[in-house]
Structure 1
């Protein structure tokens, strides 16, 4: 027995009743699209790790160009500044021309950047190349999580959302490994192939159904959603909810004004900025970028290049584990565990350097910095690494998602730039122990922020998330009912104002 029914019910104007066979949507197309979309994140990861093998080569006496230590510091940091510049227009562009089109277009600045780096003859050319690459890095950090959150079934949205951070970590590790070629120009030429692979593979993917609905392209949105869910899956009930959510967001004019004036989106924006703040101020980039230096200061016998590769492998494995946990354990619990354990690791690392700086014998505990850094990287990769980017795509309705994601990502990148530049000055003026204790205090505050402010979004659609943020019931309710003959149906109830 099948069919669709329009019923009347007290407290509701209309009930749309749809048959359901409880069939699961196909996950393969969703995983494929998420994997291909985040090749851009893989490329971004190679930009992040490029300085580790390249700067020592550029600072060699016979290098052309020859780079001083101060110039090298700027070459490393300008990527983050470029990402800040590229993030804001990316969200706006994605709202105008589409998520897929924007992501495909980012292959161009990625490719141009690597060619500029490969053919550079001065520090200035390297500066420009890094800024151009950074702009693409910032843009992909906005649009890729947005695209994934809009195509994903709520049951796997968290796992797919971790693909962004996972691909970054794999790209970082790949950059470390390819850097062993020992020539900065050959390294840049090898890495320039990746944007081409990204464009050729991803261009075949469908556009986000949410974006298509925002442009009133209903038939195209249906085809897109059907492709992502599989040809045998009945998309009608999901499409009804998606259309209703899109209609609500289109009634309100998007933009920064709507983002800040609407109490619900303002709360979501506060949560997003808070998560990005505590992600960056945890000191993660300082720990990663200066891993070799931390090990050297602690008297470790592990060469800095080997240490970087070890940390890269640890980060990839931990981020992969996060893909398995995030839709089982939930976002909140992983964030709470992540930040609290990071605080512990940084506190222990600060105590170790306090003993070392005060001439205590630390030979019996020389393993402490290695274990602390490795544990820090693991718990960051399980929680505060991927989850802020996941929630950036989950918290906002379509009409403000572009600008909200762009501002939050830009804010994250400028903080990353500041922390990376300030870390060496902090250790010089405050000492390593005080520096790590400052980051410890920030992680403690971040844990409190998550506990008080951050909702659980696991397995919830946009309507439910917006309902929880507002504290008001949604005007759409989904109920599963079973008749006497065992037929299960889903009822989508629209609660309309009188």
Structure 2
């Protein structure tokens, strides 16, 4: 969670610092940077995350989950050091790319670690802490960046991954990983640390885990993975959820936050506007952490998508009529209200549920690889939207973009109703059995011919 907070500070850095870099007081030699360079400083983060996802997957599979956790801190530290010493745009771009690697690494690591250590009844709440602490880190960046200097911000931020590494020392290796490696005694110690002194609970869980792993401990190739019906369905669900997250318009909304406040006649400064948005994101994430294991994943996805669709349709209509020359001055409160509801809605459902569900719906022997595929696609889509949104806006207009994003939210809601399983308080075996059409999934990966026949 501290690493997620660090990731949030990397993401939020651009909001207070880009205006400074584009001003005459830019700390980078060569004067103010251009808008194109500014867009690259944001987009390169996504490319860094895209590279880090498969790289950290290999590390987690060949070494251990905990060792991978230690390495998560490295890109963050290196990124902030480069920002401190950077005197050119090239070094700053490299710093942002490496910072993005840290963000990609923590998403993969947190997804694996939480699903392999959490009990079924609290898995949703613990999984929601990734976006919760990421949004907390973004808000921290908004507030800190508004009141301290460029270099002071970096010096403060570099301490966060250091604190994370110190805290990680006390955490155990995941029992799932240890059982896969045949280290049953160490797995038992790990479970005792995680579950307390309840010997019966530890013994029962360890027995179930060993049995579960033995049934599914065969190496599965990419072809076999794609041939298994349950895995194919899970992969489709993960990819569509990732696309839903990116195509719901969050980048467009956040990019035009200040404009929306200005259109409403608000005299709030850009810094105060971004801090308000960061606060709303954090509130939505906190509400999500309380509701995921009570209301369920599916209902939060539906509520989130429908609320965002309504807000985007209204925002699109507002800007459409304004661009047509209509007098909308009496409705200045409308875009601000829609923006506020939209921010809370995405933080409540689509953002946290996407990462949590992706970690819950894959079989153990393909989980790491499948999560990597989904997260890599997500980072690629984020890069495309971040880099080319301006072109889309020029072609469709702001209102056209908002209506297109609203359509994506509606499609996401329909897909949720039709294809997404509810995973609240369910064991992995029951989830995987449902995805496979009710068949015994332990028998589906024993041989290629059995997979083909399924």
Q: Say yes or no: TM over 0.5.
A: yes
Contact 2:142–2:275 (CA under 8 A) maintained in structure 1: yes
C-alpha distance in 1 between matches for 2:418 and 2:244: 14
3-state SS of paired residue (2:217): helix
Gaps of 5+ in 2: 443-454
> Secondary structure at the residue paired with 1:455?
coil
Q: How many Å separate the matches in 2 of 1:254 and 1:299?
A: 59
Aligned mates of 1:447, 1:275 — CA distance in 2: 10
| Aligned equivalents of 1:258, 1:201: Cα separation in 2 | 39
Quote the offset at 1:257 in angstroms.
2.9
Moved more, 313-322 or 240-249: 240-249
Please state if 1:462 is matched with 2:425. Answer: no
Query: Equivalents in 2 of 1:203, 1:374: separation in Å?
Result: 39
Larger Rg computed on CA atoms: 1
Aligned counterpart, 2:323: 357
Rounded Cα–Cα distance in structure 2 between residues aligned with 1:172 and 1:64: 22
Q: So what's the TM-score if we normalise by structure 2?
A: 0.93
Choose between structure 1 and 2: higher helix proportion. 2
Which one of 144, 147, 162 corresponds to residue 113 of structure 2? 147
After superposition, the Cα gap between the structure-2 partners of 1:213 and 1:201, relative to the gap in structure 1 and judged at 3 Å, is same
Listed one character per residue, the Cα deviations across residues 116-175 of structure 1 (whole Å, up to 9, x for unaligned) are 011101110011011011111111111111100111110000011100010100000001
* Equivalent-residue separation in structure 2 for 1:92 and 1:363 (angstroms): 56
1:427-459 CA distances to partner (integer Å, 9 max, x unpaired)?
Answer: 223211111001011111111111111001111
Q: Which moved more, 1:323-332 or 1:420-429?
A: 420-429
| Greater Cα shift, 420-429 or 447-456 | 420-429
Secondary structure of the 1:63 match is coil
Give the gaps of 5 or more residues in structure 1. Answer: 1-37, 477-498
Deviations 1:377-422 (A, max 9, x none): 1111111010111112111122111111111111111111111222
CA distance in 2, matches of 1:286, 1:94: 34
1:275 corresponds in structure 2 to 241
Find the residue that maps to 1:62 and give its secondary structure: coil
8 Å Cα contact 2:313-2:402 kept in structure 1: yes
Does residue 54 in structure 1 map to residue 21 in structure 2?
Answer: no
Alignment of 1:331-410 (within 5 A): 331-410=297-376
1:120-269 equivalences under 5 Å are 120-234=86-200, 235-251=202-218, 253-269=219-235
Is 1:306 the equivalent of 2:269?
Answer: no
Corresponding residue of 1:32? none
CA distance in 1, matches of 2:225, 2:76: 31
Q: Which residue of 2 aligns with 1:8?
A: none
Structure 1 runs (4+) greater than 3 angstroms displaced = 296-300, 473-476
State the 1:96 CA deviation: 1.6
1:89 Cα shift? 1.7
**Distance 1:321-1:181 versus aligned 2 partners, 3 A rule:** same
Is the Cα–Cα contact under 8 Å of residues 176 and 308 in structure 1 kept in the other structure? yes
- 1:322 is matched with 288
TM-score by length of 1: 0.85
Which of 40, 55, 73 aligns to 2:3? It is 40
Q: Greater strand percent: which structure? A: 1
What residue in structure 1 maps to residue 451 of structure 2? none
CA contact (8 A) 2:237 2:419 kept: yes
Residue 128 of structure 2: SS of its match in structure 1? helix
Alignment of 1:295 with 2:256, yes or no, is: no
Question: Secondary structure at 1:396's aligned position in 2?
Answer: coil
Q: Is the 8 A contact 1:214 1:246 kept in 2?
A: yes
Cα–Cα, structure 1 residues 82 and 212, in superposed 2: closer, same or farther, change >3 Å?
Answer: same
Give 1:90's aligned residue: 56
- Counterparts of 2:17 and 2:283 in 1: how far apart (Å)? 25
Distance 1:375 1:233 in 2: 46
Q: Please tell me whether the aligned partners of residues 144 and 164 of structure 1 are also in contact (alpha carbons under 8 angstroms).
A: yes
Q: CA deviation at 1:309?
A: 0.4
Q: 1:443 aligns with which of 409, 426, 429?
A: 409
The range that moved more, 442-451 or 232-241, is 232-241
Farther-moved stretch of structure 1 (60-69 vs 456-465): 60-69
The CA distance in 2 between the partners of 1:301 and 1:185, in whole Å, is 29
* Structure 2 counterpart of 1:117: 83
